[in-house]
Amino acid sequence: MDLFNPQIDENTNLLPQDGTVNYFGKLFSREKANFYRDTLLNTIEWKNDEAIIFGKLILTKRKVAWYGDKEFEYTYSNTTKKALPWTAELLELKKIIEEKTGETFNSCLLNLYHSGEEGMAWHSDAEKDLKKNGAIGSVSFGAERKFSFKHKQTKETVSVILEHGSLLVMKDETQTHWLHRLPPTKTTSKPRVNLTFRTIVG
């Protein structure tokens, strides 16, 4: 497995083929990143995520929230969610990420992992509500965690450490050819907040 070298260059594609992933590193000072982490922890309407698996309603330990330009409906894991209107900090972050990436976004899915015990299993973000091959801007605050990609055919893996206040962008054919996950870890008991800015169509 390749663990991405921390010589950060936002123009380097972390994937060897079939998609583009750029790691921009930390966008914010420690103080500013702490401010966003604490404000998001306190002001976002966090709820345990619902999934229907083999016909059974499951509540995840991880919490989620969904915000957007309008009351988009978004379906994944067999459940439909409705977007809430942007908070001041989310709009501020959206603008910063749009300027940094040259992309535009109309919604954001937020995840709160209370400790290293919580993670997210292998998946790709290619639901029908999402713009095909649209960019996804992933901003992280709080505990540093490893994030991994696995090619659907070759099974090749690539990993990167997502730092406090950092930005990662996934685009082009990444969701078609690669899975990604946030592995659980025993190395931290601190919370992490992740924001994925996306484009919903329809």
Q: How far is CA 57 from CA 6, 60, 74, 127, in A?
A: 40, 10, 17, 20
125 is a site residue for Fe ion (CB under 5 A)? yes
Interface pick for ligand AKG out of 83, 109, 143, 200 (rule CB under 6 A): 109
Interface pick for ligand AKG out of 178, 182, 197, 200 (rule CB under 6 A): 182
By a kind-dependent CB cut-off of 5 to 8 A, residue 182 interacts, out of ligand AKG, Fe ion, none, with: ligand AKG
180 is a site residue for ligand AKG (CB under 6 A)? yes
Interface pick for ligand AKG out of 23, 36, 67, 147 (rule CB under 6 A): 147
* Conformation bin of residue 106: beta by default, left when phi > 0, alpha when psi is -120 to 50: alpha
111 is a site residue for ligand AKG (CB under 6 A)? yes
Residue 175 C-beta: closest distance to Fe ion, Å? 8
Residue 123 C-beta: closest distance to Fe ion, Å? 6
22 is a site residue for ligand AKG (CB under 6 A)? no
Size of the site for ligand AKG (CB under 6 A): 11
138 is a site residue for ligand AKG (CB under 6 A)? yes
105 is a site residue for ligand AKG (CB under 6 A)? no
- Mapping DSSP onto H, E and C, the string for the chain reads CEECCCCCCCCCCCCCCCCEEEEEEECCCHHHHHHHHHHHHHHCCCEEEEEEECCEEEEEEEEEEEEECCCCEEEECCEEEECEECCHHHHHHHHHHHHHHCCCCCEEEEEEECCCCCCEEEECCCCCCECCCCCEEEEEEECCEEEEEEECCCCCEEEEEECCCEEEEEECCHHHHEEEEECCCCCCCCCEEEEEEECECC
Which has the closest alpha carbon to 70: 86, 89, 49, 94? 86
Window of 8-16, 25-33, 125-133, 157-165 that interacts with Fe ion by CB under 5 A? 125-133
Question: By C-beta, is 125 or 173 nearer to Fe ion?
Answer: 125
Question: By C-beta, is 125 or 156 nearer to ligand AKG?
Answer: 125
The residue sitting closest to Fe ion, measured at its beta carbon, is 125
Residues of the shown chain interacting with ligand AKG in the complex, contacts defined by CB under 6 A: 109, 111, 120, 125, 138, 147, 162, 180, 182, 194, 196
Residues of the shown chain interacting with Fe ion in the complex, contacts defined by CB under 5 A: 125
